[in-house]
Amino acid sequence: MNNSDIKGERFKEFLAEAEDILNSMGKGLLKLGKGVKAGIIDPAVLNSIFRSAHTLKGMSGVFEFRDMGSLSHSLEDTLDLLRMGRITLTDDTLDSVMAAHELLVRIVSARGLGDFSEEIEGIKQGLARGHVKKSKPREQINKELLSILTEYEEHRFRECLRDGRNIYIVTVKFPITSFDKGYVSVTEILKTESELIATLPSTKSSHEVLYFDILIGTVRGKGFIDDLVRPLAEAEISVLAEPSAKHASPQASKSEPALEIISGHGHGRHLDASRETLRRVSNTVRVNISKLDNIMNIISELGILKTGISGISSRLKVEREFSSYSIELSRSEKYLERKLSELRDSVLDVRMVPIGQLFGRFETLINKLSREAGKEIRMITHGDETELDKLIVEELADPLMHIIRNVLDHAIEAPSAREAMGKQRAGTITLSAYQKGNHVVLEVKDDGAGIDAELVREKAVEKGLITREYAKSLSRQETLDLLFLPGFSTRDFVSETSGRGVGMDVVKENITKLSGIIDIETVKGRGTRFLLTIPITLAIIQALIVEDLGRRYAVPLNSVIEIVELPPGEMDSGSEYITVNDRSVPAVRLSSFFGKDRPFGAEASSYGIVAGLAEHRLCVMVDGLVEELEVVIKPLPRMLKPAGIAGATDMGEKGTILVLDITGILEHVLKERKAPARA
Amino acid sequence: MRRKILDLRQIQEAALRQATIAPTDENYSESLARGTAEEERLNIISFFLDGLEYAFEVSSAVEVLRLKNLTEVPKTPAFVLGILSVRGEMVPVIDLKGRFGEGLQAKKTGRVLVASFDDLKAGFIVERLSGVKEVPVSSIDADTSGLDEPCRGFLKGLIKGESLIRLLDAGKLMEFRADEA
């Protein structure tokens, strides 16, 4: 293995790209799997999986990444035979292909380390077993047409004929200046109702106009396709074959000229191919997130400049002789503001990826693990399109995986046990995501055994994590919180699957790092629901500006659970807890946390900001709430790192205000008060 | 060397903007026009504090700002008066006399001279900026043991000319921890 020698930036880039390709391959495989179950195989999906494998093989060659190279080569071979229809897609073949994909994912995440040669051999053999030859019938096809189709296109052409679909040639023309956009829009719309077999550039192309002959197979009639394309481009449809006679139009015999056109030259094809590659390259740009952070910084500085301008414009308003300028200025300023916020939204948008990318990875995992554990598990996902910051999505992969593994191992019962309880044989894990304000809520729900709070309490005492006396004082929710204590989920909650000595405390830690909140809801015998509430992005935060003892602070709203109004006297001096929603929550006065004592008798009504960190809650009390704003957090200088302060934000004319680190305050307060030994 | 020129320009701009450059301004332009003289010279930016003259090397000075919108930061050393946003970057503002251990200057007005060291930046409150000067390197004495002032531990050396100028070490001034008293 000399893979470990390969280092450096280019290698990292290569791995990132390989990950992307495997990701889209995984999505394709899922679609394919669903298709096989339903008895329909979408050739376009199969072809895209083949292309992924092909690209991977090529890339591995460049980097001498041998493990990946040899495996993706075998995979490519099998997929090629599949897409050409030379072999049949059986369940076994599909399993082998999925296993190969899964191993490739692991090889890539091992970053060139580790020895996979045995596993690769196993999978290669599995792939080879699938190579059962299919008989290849022959249809009569015009030789001239065949001569310009690739082998794959020919195969698809035959398949369409065999399926009894109508074969048309849609001839479209575009001005040379906008042909690329036009072509894409026409093919996109055609794809919705037909299969694109090939695009044959027409010989008719002139200097100003390009013609394309698009060869399609469809169950639709000619008139239908005509109506479909007409709004987008001038089109002429010729019929090559029309088995479904009921759609046949009187002009069906017009197929002759079309075939003449097809017998054209090769140079047009060349143009077609080069355009396709260009399109692929220009569609995606790989950008380092830190560059986007830079842009965000500039945008926030522009925002500050804008505030300065609005100051001038309001001062001008008072000066009578300048009032007309002031109106103009404030109009421009409004426009500037709108454009700035559009700019910021689009930069944020660039960072966003659909959570489905992540869910997809779990489906293969669940399939594999449940098979190994002898359980039957169905995975359902909702809200795949929900978007989250790319960085956050990556950070969520591990905690979600731990939760799912735990569910798989401990929550979902064996099929026979489930039947005995009157449940469905197959357990269900539901992954859902939905947006809630500036947060995304991720839900992992199962219909398994649920968590027995009594058992949790017992175990925690047994392990010496808490005293029996303290255990008795815990509410049900607080008892469930014990699951997140380090050292709780050691032996009993760890099996081979969820093993590796990591437990729910790691999950908590990861979620905390993202300023997220984790909650558990469970019903014994019915199932459990893990709710992860995560901020959409970390670059810009929604903040609540609060005031205490005459100072202003920004509280990141992503850590705020609720805000309660506390009438005067609610918080007696000396009391360290207040009750919010039947839950006793530790409380702290913001200014006294920062070491500023309140003059006696200054206690007026105040507000409690209930913040959460993983399963913990803290009520931070302040004098007043000022406003809600979007702010960009800047780190404090390195030599100043006071507890409880995450950074500062520049508010332009209003000066700089500190952004609180609620997590830090909470941890500090809990540590000071030594949680279990409370009064 | 390129870095120096760049910073010089910044300082010049800042100085012109502030329009505080007093008599030495002309000397400065002259010295620029003369270019590097036969003798090795060092550009410094000097200021007064409590009647004593201090200086930073121009290469470690970034800009001069008017002190406003200072934000106090709790749980930091007393000589850290707060933070200031300098072009989007949060910079601590330090009271020099406090930093020397003499007790705070008490005056929180005036100008802030922003200096940098490596990737660190800090602002220092100065009372009277006397401008950019060019001094012969030979006039700098690295031996500060003779000086009986609390600032001694934060100096690069003493510039001995018509008057004594204390050449500050930006790195040492910024080297402190948040929990320092």
DSSP secondary structure, A214-264, as one string:
EEEEESS-HHHHHHHHTTTSEEEEEEEE---GGG--GGGGGHHHHHHHHT-
H or E segment to which residue A556 belongs: strand A551-556
Identify the pLDDT of residue A439: 75
What mean pLDDT do residues A308-323 have?
81
Q: Does residue A559 belong to any structural domain of this protein?
A: yes
Residue in A53, A50, A61, A62 with CA at minimum distance from that of residue A22: A53
Identify the pLDDT of residue A280: 37
- The verdict on A429 and A512 lying in the same domain is yes
Identify the pLDDT of residue B108: 65
- Per-residue confidence band for A1, with pLDDT thresholds at 50, 70 and 90: very low
Question: Are B87 and A551 inside 8 Å of each other by CB?
Answer: no
For residue A68, CA distances in Å to A9, A48, A80, A100, A493 come to: 19, 19, 18, 10, 35
Mark which of A270, A304, A330 sits at the end of a domain: A270
Q: Does residue A421 belong to any structural domain of this protein?
A: yes
Helix, strand, coil content of chain B in percent (nearest 5): 25, 40, 35
Identify the pLDDT of residue A186: 84
* Cα–Cα distance measured from residue B82 to residue B79, given in angstroms and rounded to the nearest whole number: 9
Q: Which residues contact A324 (CB under 8 A, 6 or more apart)?
A: none
Range of lowest pLDDT (A11-15, A77-81, A445-449, A487-491): A487-491
Instruction: Round the CA-based radius of gyration of chain A to a whole number and report it.
Output: 32
- Output DSSP code: residue B161: S
Residue in A553, A497, A562, A554 with CA at minimum distance from that of residue A533: A562
What mean pLDDT do residues B15-24 have?
43
**Taking the alpha carbons of A220, A223, A229, A235 in that order, is the dihedral positive or negative?**
positive
What mean pLDDT do residues A108-117 have?
77
* Cα–Cα distance measured from residue B139 to residue B155, given in angstroms and rounded to the nearest whole number: 15
- The verdict on A381 and A464 lying in the same domain is yes
pLDDT digits 0-9 by tens, A133-165: 655 555 566 666 777 777 778 888 888 887 778
- Per-residue confidence band for B92, with pLDDT thresholds at 50, 70 and 90: very high
Range of lowest pLDDT (A252-266, A338-352, A511-525, B142-156): A252-266
Secondary structure of residue A149 in the 3-state scheme: coil
Q: Does residue A119 belong to any structural domain of this protein?
A: yes
Q: Does residue A137 belong to any structural domain of this protein?
A: no
Of B88, B92, B174, the CB nearest to A650: B88
- CATH tag, B41-180: 2.40.50.180
Residue A640: its chain B contacts at CB < 8 A? 73, 76, 80, 83, 92, 178
Residue A648: its chain B contacts at CB < 8 A? 71, 83, 85, 90
- Min Cα distance A559 → chain B (Å) is 21
Neighbours of A598 (CB within 10 A): 14
CA atoms lying within 13 Å on the CB side of residue A187:
17
Q: Tell which of A302, A650, A657, A672 to mutate to test the B interface (max B CBs under 10 Å).
A: A650
pLDDT digits 0-9 by tens, A487-540: 776 444 444 444 444 577 778 877 877 777 888 888 888 899 999 988 776 656
Residue B72: its chain A contacts at CB < 8 A? 551
- The verdict on A160 and A117 lying in the same domain is no
Q: What is the CATH number of the domain that holds A237?
A: 3.30.70.260
**Taking the alpha carbons of A578, A580, A586, A589 in that order, is the dihedral positive or negative?**
negative
Question: Are A641 and B87 inside 8 Å of each other by CB?
Answer: no
Question: Are B74 and A300 inside 8 Å of each other by CB?
Answer: no
pTM over the 0.90 mark? no
Residue in A145, A143, A85 with CA at minimum distance from that of residue A269: A145
Contact between A71 and A123 under an 8 Å Cβ cutoff? The reply is yes
Tracing tokens 């609060």 back to the chain, one arrives at A546
Q: Is the pLDDT of residue A623 over 50?
A: yes
Residue B90: its chain A contacts at CB < 8 A? 634-637, 647-648, 656
- The verdict on A108 and A174 lying in the same domain is no
- The verdict on A320 and A179 lying in the same domain is no
Chain B segment 99-128 residues within 8 A of A by beta carbon are: 120-122
Mark which of A222, A239, A270 sits at the end of a domain: A270
Identify the pLDDT of residue B156: 92
Contact between A96 and A126 under an 8 Å Cβ cutoff? The reply is yes
- The verdict on A186 and A226 lying in the same domain is yes
Identify the pLDDT of residue B169: 93
- Output DSSP code: residue A449: -
Range of lowest pLDDT (A36-40, A554-558, A627-631, B171-175): A36-40
Q: Does residue A619 belong to any structural domain of this protein?
A: yes
Question: Are A656 and B83 inside 8 Å of each other by CB?
Answer: yes
- The verdict on A383 and A514 lying in the same domain is yes
* Chain B CA closest to residue A646: B73
- The verdict on A234 and A327 lying in the same domain is no
- Min Cα distance B161 → chain A (Å) is 35
Mark which of A535, A569, A596 sits at the end of a domain: A535
Question: Are A640 and B87 inside 8 Å of each other by CB?
Answer: no
- The verdict on A419 and A531 lying in the same domain is yes
Q: Across the A/B interface, how many CB contacts are shorter than 8 Å?
A: 69
- The verdict on A502 and A610 lying in the same domain is no
H or E segment to which residue A430 belongs: strand A427-436
- B178 at the A interface (CB within 8 A)? yes
Contact between B116 and B146 under an 8 Å Cβ cutoff? The reply is no
Share of chain A above pLDDT 90, in %: 4
Contact between B24 and B131 under an 8 Å Cβ cutoff? The reply is yes
Question: Are B88 and A640 inside 8 Å of each other by CB?
Answer: no
Provide the domain limits for residue A549. 540-672
Q: Residue ranges of the alpha helices (H) in A495-589?
A: 504-513
Length of chain A equals 679
Mean pLDDT across chain A:
77
- A655 at the B interface (CB within 8 A)? yes
Q: Is the pLDDT of residue A24 over 80?
A: yes
Q: What is the CATH number of the domain that holds A485?
A: 3.30.565.10
Question: Are B92 and A639 inside 8 Å of each other by CB?
Answer: yes
Residue A299: its chain B contacts at CB < 8 A? none
Residue in A205, A202, A203 with CA at minimum distance from that of residue A171: A202
Of B73, B88, B122, the CB nearest to A634: B88
What is the crossing angle of helices A91-109 and A117-129, to 10°?
160
**Count: domains in chain A:** 5
Q: State the span(s) of chain B assigned CATH 2.40.50.180.
A: 41-180
Chain B segment 60-79 residues within 8 A of A by beta carbon are: 69, 71-76
Residue B92: its chain A contacts at CB < 8 A? 637, 639-640
Identify the pLDDT of residue A429: 92
* Cα–Cα distance measured from residue A273 to residue A150, given in angstroms and rounded to the nearest whole number: 12
- The verdict on A257 and A181 lying in the same domain is yes
Of A594, A636, A643, the CB nearest to B83: A636
Residue B78: its chain A contacts at CB < 8 A? none
Of A300, A640, A650, the CB nearest to B73: A640
Share of chain B above pLDDT 70, in %: 74
Contact between A412 and A488 under an 8 Å Cβ cutoff? The reply is no
- Min Cα distance A589 → chain B (Å) is 14
Secondary structure of residue A61 in the 3-state scheme: helix
Q: Is the pLDDT of residue A346 over 90?
A: no
Residue in A249, A16, A44, A283 with CA at minimum distance from that of residue A156: A44
- The verdict on A548 and A653 lying in the same domain is yes
Identify the pLDDT of residue B114: 93
Q: Is the pLDDT of residue A247 over 60?
A: no
